[in-house]
A and B are shown apart, each in its own frame.
Chain A
Amino acid sequence: MKKIVTVGVAAFLVACASSEVTTVSPDSKGQYQAILDSKYPRLLTDITAQAVRQRVSAGLLMASVDIKNEDLSRKDLQYKFLWFDRDGFEVQPDGRPWTPLSLLGEETKAVQAVAPQSNVVTFKIQIEER
């Protein structure tokens, strides 16, 4: 059975900090947090989101997340970005594919993506073990 970890990523624009999406919680400095949630505690300890970055360019949100394999053995993962508008509706469901990602022991890689439309204000990244 595949282990699933969902990284709920705070990726609001500062102006949209009062959005109704409850999984997002930017701190007082407007920094964005990664909220890891999984039904499988082992995966939570094996994979961590080291840094969450975002910027808006020409009205489109660009998201970047550093994913680290805390384990010493290689991990074959796949990830997928999900995009949401200010009302919490997913924008273009199935618009992004699951993308394979292999991490050697203790390796960190940055994954990034650009929102498909300008009405996107937040995102999530789902990570699964293949």
Chain B
Amino acid sequence: MNKRQWMMAAVAAGTLTMTGCAANPAIQYGDATAVETTTTGFGSTDLQMIAAKMVDDMLMFPPLVEMTAKRRPVMFVDSIKNKTTEHIDTESITDTISSKLLNSGRFRFVDMTAVQQMRDQMDFQQSGGMVDPSTAVRLRKQMGAEFMLYGNMSSIVKYNGSVKDVYYKFTLKLTNLETGILEWSGEKEIRKTGKKPTFGL
């Protein structure tokens, strides 16, 4: 093969490579429940492990098992205090926990994040003049929550040379609103260790 033929072959290979890249972008769907270890920061696996542990513990705690045997207590979810140095969407954690508890058929929830929307809709039904009064929802019929779910998320971060160690502790508590008694508390600890590569960022 002479020099000209080599040149043409190289151009053809380059063109084919670029065409291939354009036609097949490197995008894939992955398993949302897969173990994610991209960084030592709080990630999807941590959220899922915390939610699974909290729900399992609550569903198997003997006094709660006894309480939910014949009725479905009503709860509301307060915020989780984020005491870590990271920005963590703690509402996402409580959303997952409350969804799993609700789907277990053992508990019911009042959604405090939708209070204003519910009030607006009730005002519209009651005084908007557009809704048949016989089908309008009646006021003062909503159920009050019996229990409050709340908690903390904290972390300890340490460095030793190129090694970073992160320890997370998630605590969830269930308190009886009437008596003020803490009925249940669960904890999940997570330790993650990462090492910076010798070269690169």
Contact = CB atoms under 8 A, between A and B. Distances in A.
Interface of A: 57-58, 60, 62, 78, 80, 92, 94-100, 112-114, 116-118, 130
Contacts of A57: 59-60, 65
Given A94-B33, A98-B31, A113 B52 contact: yes
B108 interface: no
A62 B58 CA distance: 12
Contacts of B48: 97
A72 to B, nearest CB: 22
A-B pairs with lowest CB-CB distance, top 6? A97-B48, A58-B65, A114-B56, A97-B33, A98-B35, A78-B35
Contacts, number: 55
Contacts of B68: 58
A58 B45 contact: no
A118 B59 CA distance: 11
Contacts of A117: 103-105
A45 B162 CA distance: 36
A80 B34 CA distance: 10
Interface residues of B, number: 22
Contacts of B81: none
B169 interface: no
Contact of A116 (B34, B69, B103): B103
The secondary structure that dominates the B interface is helix
Contacts of B59: 57-58, 60, 114
Given A116-B104, A117-B103, 19 more contacts: A57-B60, A57-B65, A58-B69, A58-B106, A60-B59, A60-B60, A62-B60, A78-B35, A80-B33, A96-B52, A97-B33, A97-B52, A98-B34, A99-B52, A100-B35, A116-B103, A117-B104, A118-B105, A130-B35
A97 B49 contact: yes
A19 to B, nearest CB: 21
Contacts of B69: 58
Contacts of B45: 97-100
A101 to B, nearest CB: 10
